[in-house]
């Protein structure tokens, strides 16, 4: 599929006035492949790094027009392990972003990092190049769990890496954790939380492990050689999580995310609010004014696709009803809920009327708190968010 299709004018005055805008870069290179990872990622791939970065530069130029008149509030480098990028290559790429798009003076610029790649000089150069938020994948501090997950770092290395990031001067740090792991008892999960929260991160993301198809863990669960905790155990682990973050002063603001005031992730909020963003790199998705498209999954295929102006793998145009439904359901992931006024301004139609039947059903089930201006999930609704989304969609 050729990119010129996507460079048509996607301007939408309502969307531009009511949505935020961000950039995402997928960096697929890793020290090793984790057993649970279903993302586009490859171990090392050293010989591919230079041509891959060059492809990102070409894609930036190709889609520059889609950012016309927009201010970029966030730039996110995800992966994979973006902290494997040579700092000079990263700085050049971020500089290209600034030349191509209008970045807000206070734009959030996030770099994902893994502990095994963190050094003081490396982090310092990223920060000097413009990064102001680092998200580090820790996942666990238990040796057995780290081995089961295929993580190449130890608990001690993760703690040292965090301290290095702080000493380098980063003032906004997120840590990622996984729970619901095979054989994970509550006391072990509690111990990991206590040790992580003692580090005093600004933001915490904690997700229940999902055995994705095509992963080692997914195959083991499907084949019966590995069993994940049952729903009751996961529910108890979530209670432990919520009590721990509350004591640490990290209020929950989204189903799986917790932060200090002023440290919520702006970029992920773009996704939860179904705002607009451009994605660059293998498997990256974009969304602008109700149009979605996504790139080839394999990094080599992506590089060759960019060379042939054929890096896009698929596209989708959403009808108005689909856009409202998605904005409603994803917006409910955030504890602040969904604003009637904001969605009406954005779509030119009243979501309270359009989704009246679904709203009544969810209120009747005790999953939704709803008044004339705001809808938000109840505690029961937060625990059953996927079911709520299925009803709304």
Q: How far is C-alpha 184 from the chain's CA centre? A: 25
CB 119 within 8 A of CB 160: no
Query: Is the peptide bond prior to 80 cis by the omega test (within 30 degrees of 0)?
Result: yes
- Please, which residues bridge with residue 135 across strands? 112, 174
Angle at which helix 231-247 crosses helix 186-197, to 10 degrees, equals: 20
Q: What percent of the chain has pLDDT over 90?
A: 93
Q: In this structure, is the dihedral angle defined by the CA atoms of residues 205, 209, 212 and 215, taken in order, positive or negative?
A: positive
How does pLDDT run across 47-77, given as a tens digit for each residue? 899 999 999 999 999 999 999 999 999 999 9
pTM of the model: 0.94
CA angle in degrees (0–180, nearest 5) for 6-99-49 = 75
Q: Is the pLDDT of residue 241 over 80?
A: yes
SS3 199: coil
d(Cα 255, Cα 269) in Å, to the nearest integer? Answer: 12
- Checking if the pLDDT of 130 tops 90, the result is yes
Are the C-beta atoms of residues 299 and 45 closer than 8 Å to each other? yes
C-alpha span between 135 and 137 (Å, rounded): 7
Span 332-341, average pLDDT: 96
Residue range 273-295: average pLDDT?
97
pLDDT category of residue 46 using cuts at 50, 70 and 90: confident
Q: What pLDDT is attached to residue 19?
A: 80
Q: What CATH number is given for 3-272 in this structure?
A: 3.20.20.70
**What are phi and psi for residue 106, nearest 5 degrees?**
-110, 25
Question: Would the pLDDT of 335 be above 50?
Answer: yes
pLDDT value, residue 381: 95
What is the mean predicted confidence (pLDDT) over 42-47? 81
**Domains of the chain, residue spans:** 3-272, 321-392
Query: Is pLDDT of 138 > 50?
Result: yes
On average, the pLDDT of the chain sits at 93
pLDDT (average), residues 219-244 = 94
User: CA quadruple 147, 157, 215, 51: dihedral positive or negative?
Assistant: negative
SS3 of 183-198: the string is CCCHHHHHHHHHHHHC
Q: How many Cβ atoms are within 10 Å of 362's Cβ, its own excluded?
A: 24
Q: Give the class (CATH, top level) of 321-392.
A: mainly alpha
Instruction: Write down the residue that tokens 């917006």 correspond to.
Output: 331
Confidence at residue 18, expressed as pLDDT on a 0 to 100 scale? 59
Residue 331's pLDDT band (boundaries 50, 70, 90)? very high
Tokens found for residue 378? 């109840």
């Amino acid at each position: 599929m050729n990119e010129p299709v996507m460079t048509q004018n996607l301007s939408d005055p309502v969307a531009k006035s009511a949505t935020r805008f961000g950039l995402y870069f997928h960096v697929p290179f890793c020290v090793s492949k984790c057993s649970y990872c279903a993302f586009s990622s490859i171990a090392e791939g050293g010989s591919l790094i230079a041509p891959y970065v060059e492809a990102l530069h070409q894609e930036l130029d190709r889609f520059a027009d889609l950012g016309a008149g927009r201010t970029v509030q966030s730039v996110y480098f995800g992966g994979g392990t973006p902290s494997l990028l040579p700092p000079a290559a990263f700085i050049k790429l971020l500089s290209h972003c600034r030349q191509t798009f209008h970045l807000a003076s206070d734009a959030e610029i996030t770099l994902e990092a893994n502990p095994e790649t963190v050094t003081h000089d490396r982090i310092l150069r990223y920060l000097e190049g413009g990064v102001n938020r680092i998200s580090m994948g820790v996942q666990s501090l238990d040796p057995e769990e780290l081995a089961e997950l295929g993580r190449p770092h130890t608990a001690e290395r993760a703690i040292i890496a965090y301290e290095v990031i702080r000493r380098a001067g980063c003032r906004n740090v997120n840590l990622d954790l996984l729970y619901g792991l095979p054989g994970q008892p509550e006391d072990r999960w509690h111990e990991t939380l206590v040790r992580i929260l003692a580090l005093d991160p600004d933001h915490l993301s904690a997700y229940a492990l999902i055995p994705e198809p095509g992963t080692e863990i997914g195959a083991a669960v499907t084949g019966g050689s590995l069993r994940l905790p049952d729903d009751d155990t996961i529910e108890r682990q979530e209670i432990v999580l919520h009590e721990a973050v509350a004591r640490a002063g990290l209020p929950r603001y989204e189903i799986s995310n917790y932060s200090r005031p002023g440290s919520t992730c702006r970029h992920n909020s773009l996704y939860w609010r179904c705002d607009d963003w451009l994605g660059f790199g293998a498997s990256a998705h974009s969304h602008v004014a109700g149009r979605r498209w996504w790139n080839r999954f394999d990094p080599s295929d992506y590089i060759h696709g960019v060379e042939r102006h054929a890096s896009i793998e698929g596209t989708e145009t959403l009808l108005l009803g689909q856009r409202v439904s998605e904005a409603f359901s994803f917006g409910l992931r955030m504890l602040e809920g969904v604003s009637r006024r904001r969605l009406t301004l954005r779509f030119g139609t009243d979501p309270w009327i359009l989704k009246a039947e679904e709203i009544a059903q969810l209120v009747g089930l005790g999953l939704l708190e709803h008044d004339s201006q705001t809808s938000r999930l109840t505690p029961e609704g937060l625990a059953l968010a996927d079911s709520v989304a299925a009803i709304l969609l």
